[in-house]
Amino acid sequence: MNVNTFRKFYHRPTKQEGKRLDMAERPLDFHPNQFNNFLNTLSQEDFICYPSEKDYESLNSKIADLNGIQPDQICLGAGSDSLIKNFFAIKSRRSSYFLSSFPCFPMYSVYGEMFDIYMEKIEFDKYLNISIDFITAKTNRECSFIVLANPNSPFGDYKNEHQLRYLLTFLKAFNVPLLLDEAYVDFAPSSYVQLINEFDNLFVLKTFSKAWGGAGVRCGYICSQANNIKDFRSIRDSFVLTGPTIKYIGWLIDNKQSKDQYVADVIEQKNKIDIELKDKYEIINGYTNWLHIRGNNSIQNKLDFLKISYKKDIEIPHHGKGWMRICVFNGLFNFLKYD
């Protein structure tokens, strides 16, 4: 393992409700009455005591039911980030390479460096799509694995079931696993977690950080056939989630309608902005909870003046510089329309 890996840490300008539009979390808080119902479930033991393995097992079963898979097909992690690291730890082979799109979630390349495995980059085409043919063309027996976010980050292109089956069948012939990162899947037509029952080379990664509203408590999970999951469980941290995290994630699942409502609101706003403001801005609208927008300076001045955090000065392959990336919530349409 290479510990001289180059990492950047990010100081957040704000976490304030409605202004945290930079890191793809839920931008609006839960209603205080609803959140107080959760707070009332907490006890001192949740903070004082180590969780019992039984607590992990019951959350694991709840997550399995949510996905329509078996409990032994899941391993929990402190955020999906920690499971990406474990995937690299388990699957990286010496003098080998992995494939991923570029740009991508930056931790893929950090863990590539850390586990000393070369990252072969797949470029986006002019439609900001990663072609399956580009992936297969670069795959051979030396390849340790493929990492693909679906929907992809940052442009939100999305592979359908037919494309994924084709890719998985192709990769199986080379004995190459696919890590399918579904961090943003709630904003897309469907998850492909069920395909783990058919393909033993598929690992699906999920998180409660994005649509669910749980980034602060750090909980993600990886799904695959039980035999593969044994490897992840054997290197799992002993107390992988905190007591309050276990309760919060259980509460989020019990209140799934809040997540569904937030997702519906985001999709409606994004589509409205895309259709009604397309004469005013250039807009890239993928299956994520943000938009890439390019327009005049006044919108950026307004965002900066209000101390809203978003990403700016982005360069997009084939589409040039000067883009911003902003998370979508109810109210963004009016904000952009009346700038």
Binding site for ligand PLP (CB under 6 A): 24, 79-81, 105, 149, 153, 181, 183, 207, 209, 215, 220
- Of 72, 45, 81, 70, nearest to 246 by C-alpha is 45
- How many other CB atoms sit within 10 Å of the CB of residue 271? 13
Single-letter amino acid, residue 146? I
Measured distance CA(195)–CA(240) in Å, rounded: 26
Q: How far is the CB of 62 from ligand PLP (least distance, A)?
A: 18
Q: Which is nearer to ligand PLP, 171 or 204 (CB)?
A: 204
Q: How far is the CB of 263 from ligand PLP (least distance, A)?
A: 16
Type and span of the H or E element at 290:
strand 290-294
Joined together, the tokens standing for residue 339 give: 């700038």
How far apart (Å, rounded) are the C-alpha atoms in residues 141 and 122?
17
Single out the residue of 104, 102, 92, 174 nearest to residue 136, CA to CA: 174
What is the C-alpha separation between 285 and 288, in angstroms, rounded?
8
Q: What is the largest CA-CA distance in the chain?
A: 57
The smaller minimum CB distance to ligand PLP, of residues 215 and 283, is found at: 215
In a 13 Å sphere around the CA of 50, the CA atoms on its Cβ side amount to 6
Give min distance, CB of 289 to ligand PLP, in A: 11
| Cα–Cα dist 128/126, whole Å | 5
- Least Å distance, CB 222 to ligand PLP, is 11
Considering the complex, state which of residue 149 and residue 299 has its C-beta at the smaller distance from ligand PLP.
149
Nearest approach, Cβ of residue 242 and ligand PLP (Å): 15
Minimal distance, residue 259 CB to ligand PLP, in Å: 15
- 83 or 117, CB closer to ligand PLP? 83
CB of 24 to ligand PLP, least distance (A): 6
Burial 131-148 (b: 16+ CB within 10 A, else e): ebebbeeebeeebbbbbb
Closest to ligand PLP by CB, 60 vs 281, is 60
- Residue 251 or 290 having the CB closest to ligand PLP: 290
Residue nearest to ligand PLP (CB): 79
| Count of residues in the chain | 339
Q: Which is nearer to ligand PLP, 213 or 243 (CB)?
A: 213
| Tokens coding 116 | 């000393």
